[in-house]
Amino acid sequence: MHLRALRPFPRPLLSSKRFVSSTTVQRAATATASAANDLVEDDIASSAQQQKFASETIANNAFKANPLNGTRPIYLDMQATTPTDPRVLDKMLQFYTGLYGNPHSNTHSYGWETDKEIESARKRVADLIGADPKEIIFTSGATESNNMAIKGVPRFYQKTKKHIITVKTEHKCILDSARHLQDEGFDVTYLSVNSDGLIDLEQLEKAIRKDTCLVSVMAVNNEIGVVQPIEEIGKICRKHKVFFHSDCAQAVGKIPLDVNKMNIDLMSISSHKIYGPKGIGAIYVRRRPRVRLDPIITGGGQERGLRSGTLAPPLVTGFGEACRLIKEDMDYDQAHIKRLSKRLMDGLLSIEHTQLNGSKVHRYPGCVNVSFAYIEGESLLMALKDIALSSGSACTSASLEPSYVLHALGADDALAHSSIRFGIGRFTTEEEIDYVIKAIHERVEFLRELSPLWEMVKEGIDLDTIEWSGH
């Protein structure tokens, strides 16, 4: 049975209390929701059995070669993670069987053969960003890499430099690391962004002080896909002899990057964002001029003493293969994603009272963040169980707070709560995009009809002129 056929209109969970506090309007909402629930009352008895069947069917088919076999949702959450490319898996499998040596065992052939493959993977990662293989340090992922950069550099230079600069729209792990540094006595400047999500280069340059040791600006934002002027930022940092770190987890393999051309001194990279395995990533650390940092993981001195611990050859080689493939396929991937992105945006923005969040020009097309006014994003996600989507970063999805990224752009709570992120990737198809557009149109209309606010909008009432009474 096809999952989409189970409940084409899942029971919506409309929470209007963020928008409405008037008793009259709440009664109208209750009556409308009650009427809508009556339409699906006959379906409630079998709903639990259907959901149980759907869950069991999904689990049973999760490892089949073709996951889109009629039992799994369409996947449009590529910023959270990407599916592992089958070619990457082929490369990894040999290291779970015959090539099982510890790459740090240098007294026998088992260690030599895996170490050789590790170094081959290191070169492939380096080639993707124009670096030297000796400048690539393997980590568990971009979060660890970001922690290494944000904490490691300031701690090493803390005797003379106690100031760092970052941006309010950075990934949560950057912002949390910066707050930890503040607790240790460092000064942190958080740059604002404009309504497009871009920083002001003049503001950045003015923020640099004599004791500034690090500037950290992500290349592509994980929620809205905005691309910052990385090359210009690199020039400013080099001019003032300040180290420049960039979180490129969402950028590597998706936009052209060259660490030398862009004057990037440290770069965070994630494997599972480029169709590689989870649990592996890297940090690029420039050797000339040399960047020094205190390691956050110590032990056996692996990875130039910057990140101790035994490397996992299956993950490292899978990461290297993913880098090789995405470099080879970059032109095709970019054209494919750009074409589908335009198709999706044209379809979604044709719905009235919708808007694209972030710059329309300086953006990565594979990340589309759209706000649908007069409904809640959570309600829309509940009504779209046949499509895997997100209302923001997967790392903060447990929170019901509106996106801090959209707040930084100037969006109010209502607009931030009504936003959905769509992620397009290498394996996304036109048929999936067309299905999503049709489903969004139908269910946005369905949810708006349940909202008393939407009824007022259709009657031409300016909601800003209404004085809501409390209870």
Q: pLDDT (tens digit, 9 = 90+) per residue, 79-96?
A: 999 999 999 999 999 999
Q: What is the 3-state secondary structure (H, E, C) of 284-352?
A: EECCCCCCCCCCCCCCCCCHHHCCCCCCCHHHHHHHHHHHHHHHHCHHHHHHHHHHHHHHHHHHHCCCC
Pairwise CA distance, residues 116 & 139, whole Å: 18
Q: Which residue has the tokens 């480029």?
A: 274
Is the same domain home to 226 and 341? no
Is the same domain home to 272 and 153? yes
In the chain, pLDDT over 70 holds for what percent of residues? 81
**What CATH number should be reported for the domain holding residue 188?**
3.40.640.10
Mean pLDDT value across residues 48-67: 43
Q: Which of 242, 177, 231 is nearest to 209 (CA)?
A: 242
Each residue's pLDDT tens digit, 130-155: 999 999 999 999 999 999 999 999 99
Is residue 79 in a domain? no
Mean pLDDT of the chain: 86
Q: Which of 281, 244, 296, 248 is nearest to 265 (CA)?
A: 244
Domain range enclosing 154: 86-328
Q: Which of 428, 320, 417 is nearest to 367 (CA)?
A: 428
What pLDDT, on a 0 to 100 scale, did the predictor assign at position 70? Answer: 54
Is the same domain home to 271 and 368? no
* Range with the poorest average pLDDT among 46-60, 217-231, 263-277: 46-60
What pLDDT, on a 0 to 100 scale, did the predictor assign at position 52? Answer: 46
Q: Side by side, which strands form the sheet with 367-372?
A: 354-356, 367-372, 419-423
Is residue 237 in a domain? yes
Is residue 441 in a domain? yes
Question: Do the Cβ atoms of 102 and 339 come closer than 8 Å?
Answer: no
Mean pLDDT value across residues 289-316: 95
Q: Which residues share a beta bridge with 354?
A: 372
Question: Do the Cβ atoms of 185 and 333 come closer than 8 Å?
Answer: no
Q: Which residues share a beta bridge with 368?
A: 422
Higher pLDDT, 36 or 131: 131
Last residue of a domain, one of 294, 328, 362: 328
Mean pLDDT value across residues 99-118: 95
What pLDDT, on a 0 to 100 scale, did the predictor assign at position 72? Answer: 87
Is residue 80 in a domain? no
Last residue of a domain, one of 300, 328, 356: 328
Residue 443 tokens, joined:
């269910």
Confidence of residue 31 (pLDDT cuts 50, 70, 90): very low
The answer to whether residue 120 scores a pLDDT higher than 80 is yes
Is the same domain home to 101 and 195? yes
The answer to whether residue 35 scores a pLDDT higher than 60 is no
What pLDDT, on a 0 to 100 scale, did the predictor assign at position 467? Answer: 60
* Cα dihedral 382, 386, 391, 395 sign: positive
What pLDDT, on a 0 to 100 scale, did the predictor assign at position 413? Answer: 84
Q: Which of 336, 321, 317, 284 is nearest to 78 (CA)?
A: 336
Is the same domain home to 360 and 317? no
Give the type of residue at 222. Answer: N
Mean pLDDT value across residues 156-165: 97
Is the same domain home to 322 and 347? no
Question: Do the Cβ atoms of 413 and 377 come closer than 8 Å?
Answer: no
Is residue 210 in a domain? yes
Is the same domain home to 336 and 306? no
Is residue 302 in a domain? yes
Total-model pTM: 0.83
**Residues, the chain, total?**
471
**How many domains, in total, are found in the chain?**
2
Is residue 77 in a domain? no
Mean pLDDT value across residues 244-248: 98
**What CATH number should be reported for the domain holding residue 353?**
3.90.1150.10
Q: Which residues share a beta bridge with 369?
A: 421
Higher pLDDT, 378 or 45: 378
Is residue 450 in a domain? yes
Cite the active site residues.
395
Separation in Å, CA 5 to CA 1, 73, 385, 436:
7, 11, 11, 15
Each residue's pLDDT tens digit, 167-218: 999 999 999 999 999 999 999 999 999 999 999 999 999 999 999 999 999 9
Is the same domain home to 50 and 111? no
Confidence of residue 457 (pLDDT cuts 50, 70, 90): confident
Is the same domain home to 344 and 317? no
Confidence of residue 41 (pLDDT cuts 50, 70, 90): very low
Is the same domain home to 54 and 68? yes
Last residue of a domain, one of 328, 362, 378: 328
Is the same domain home to 105 and 165? yes
Separation in Å, CA 247 to CA 65, 157, 236, 340, 360:
33, 21, 17, 26, 21
Confidence of residue 375 (pLDDT cuts 50, 70, 90): confident
Higher pLDDT, 226 or 470: 226
Is the same domain home to 290 and 411? no
The answer to whether residue 461 scores a pLDDT higher than 60 is yes
